[in-house]
Amino acid sequence: MPAQSEAQQKAAGAALSAKRGETRVKDLQGASKEMYDSMTEAELEDMASTSHDNIPEKKES
């Protein structure tokens, strides 16, 4: 599942970093904390690797 916005991609990258033990889980907040708790490492990797081309900075409601 690719990210739908740059903000979502960045949150997935932060959660992925914590899943891999590169950053501390307690430093996560907001969407990245929720992603850490609810997604697998493979799902986070897929979302974090989304290209920045043709996606908005923030998802429109």
Q: What is the pLDDT of residue 24?
A: 96
For residue 57, is it within any domain? Answer: no
Residue environment code for 20-59, b if the CB has 16+ CB neighbours within 10 A, otherwise e: eeeeeeeebeeebbebbeebeeebbebbbebeeeebeeee
Count of structural domains, the chain: 1
Average pLDDT, integer, range 3-15: 90
Amino acid occupying residue 33: K
Q: With 80 as the cut, is the pLDDT of residue 23 above it?
A: yes
For residue 12, is it within any domain? Answer: yes
Q: What is the pLDDT of residue 52?
A: 74
CA atoms within 13 A on the CB side of 43: 10
For residue 14, is it within any domain? Answer: yes
For residue 58, is it within any domain? Answer: no
Cα Rg of the chain (Å, integer): 11
For residue 10, is it within any domain? Answer: yes
For residue 1, is it within any domain? Answer: no
Triad 37, 41, 42: Cα angle to 5°? 130
Average pLDDT, integer, range 11-26: 95
Q: What is the pLDDT of residue 54?
A: 76
Q: What is the pTM of this model?
A: 0.84
Which domain does 12 fall in, by range? Answer: 6-48
